[in-house]
Amino acid sequence: MNQLSRRRLLSTTAAAAVSAPSILRARNLNSRMRVVVIGMGGRARSHAESLMELEQEDGIDVEFAGVCDCDSAKLGPAVTGWSQKAGHAVTGYDDMRRVLDDPSVDAVTFATPNHWHALGVIWGCQAGKDVYVEKPGSHNIYEGRKMVEAARKYDRVVQHGTQCRSSANIVEGIQKLHAGIIGEVYFARGIAYKIRGNLGQHAPRPVPQGLDWDQWCGPAPVHEFSNFQHRRWHWIWDYGNGEIGNQGVHQFDILRWGLKLDTHPKSVSSNGTNFMQEKIHRSSAETPGILSTTLKWPDGKLIEFEVRDWYTNAEAGFRDRYPFVQKDFPVGAIFLGTEGTMIFPDYSSYHTFLGREREVGPSKYEEGSPISNTPHFRNWVQVCHSRRRQDLTAEILEGHMSSALCHLANISYRVDHTVQFDSQFERFPDDESANQLLTRPQREPYAVPDVV
């Protein structure tokens, strides 16, 4: 019997025990692929809208079948609202384990906070479901590797939510980069400058009626409830990964893709501060608002990445000349080559500048900087039917490798020194302080299993 099957998981909102998801045999999809969206947070809207759009598309056999959340204040309105928009009944589930035990459900998407991504994906694979998971794929490096192992062991199709991989314009830009449009690329840089303002303070209060706080915390420690913990989880180490994991993973993914990097860096150095939140706003945010990271690979390739959370100049024309989809935020990826430079200033465009005079080269741009949500979901659904995992644009291994860059940057910042990383074993040789941050203390009954 599988490790998860031996556990009994207790729901704080029900008297009866809820068992772990059943382990189902891999099976053929229903003729119409039925998908449930788990987690009714901000990204859930994009998941639902993309699935509804695909429902209406000829040749795409998919149905937006349900929604799930452990907070009744979100679940009830979601069932009503999405049923109306979809034009058919959308089933509501108050526990993801009930979704995974439902044999009528073929696949799930996770729009949960980061701390739930890995275990949700592992459970989904074990239950015979295909999975779409938001970025960053994992909360930490250990759990990211377990996600990959689960996808392989149960032969599941797992797509990572780095949608730029499904943008036709971004794909074109990367192809030109690989073809040598700017010569040999010797350096790459990413930025995520997003004004965050005062994130607020942790002020404990009773758990709202209808919210299963134990289930919401899941694999993470259970802290006293407050709106800060519930809504500002990106900026708390136990639940999120800061701005570099929230926004930066998109740019890291483009940088790694452009440089053809399929291994982890050998060394990472991060320095930063949380000055605005700690000293000026007096908020309870834990993750750094300013973070400068340098990552070096064994072949000498370098990536620099910088996060800023307050007023700032732009860079490479981001924001001022090339508006980001989110107004006033300079965000993007930069490649420097022996014959010129290339920039990716948003989710759907690229620009090249050639030679010393920076002559304008090939580019592709769409008004409004659209995000490729539906194309990314379309790719996932098509592969779920074809079972050709190699056709995924952002397979979970790619998600793990890009998410790991965010985790490595945060680890170096937290231990306050340059870290050396063994790519093969995903460990820091002779660095116990860093190794302790590869994972987190496991909390039963939501532990991520050593053997998936």
DSSP assignment letter at 88: S
Question: Of 43, 427, 445, 419, nearest to 215 (Cα)?
Answer: 445
Kindly tell me if the per-residue pLDDT of 68 is higher than 50. yes
Categorize the per-residue pLDDT at 30 as very low, low, confident or very high, splitting at 50, 70 and 90: low
Categorize the per-residue pLDDT at 328 as very low, low, confident or very high, splitting at 50, 70 and 90: confident
Average of per-residue pLDDT values in the chain: 93
The average pLDDT across 169-188 equals 98
The average pLDDT across 41-61 equals 94
Categorize the per-residue pLDDT at 13 as very low, low, confident or very high, splitting at 50, 70 and 90: very low
Q: Looking at residue 21, what is its pLDDT?
A: 64
Query: pLDDT (tens digit, 9 = 90+) per residue, 214-228?
Result: 999 999 999 999 999
Bridge partners of 351, per DSSP, are 343, 363
| C-alpha pair distances (Å), 283 with each of 150, 207, 332 | 38, 21, 27
Kindly tell me if the per-residue pLDDT of 78 is higher than 70. yes
Query: pLDDT (tens digit, 9 = 90+) per residue, 346-386?
Result: 999 999 999 999 999 999 998 877 889 999 999 999 999 99
pTM to 2 decimals? 0.94
Longest Cα–Cα distance of the chain, Å, equals 71
SS3 state of residue 18: strand
Q: How far apart, in whole angstroms, are the C-alpha atoms of residue 13 and residue 6?
A: 21
Categorize the per-residue pLDDT at 26 as very low, low, confident or very high, splitting at 50, 70 and 90: very low
Query: pLDDT (tens digit, 9 = 90+) per residue, 399-451?
Result: 999 999 999 999 999 999 999 999 999 999 999 999 999 999 999 999 999 99
Map out the domains of the chain with their CATH numbers: 4-165+374-395 (3.40.50.720), 168-370+403-429 (3.30.360.10)
Q: Looking at residue 173, what is its pLDDT?
A: 98
Q: Looking at residue 325, what is its pLDDT?
A: 81
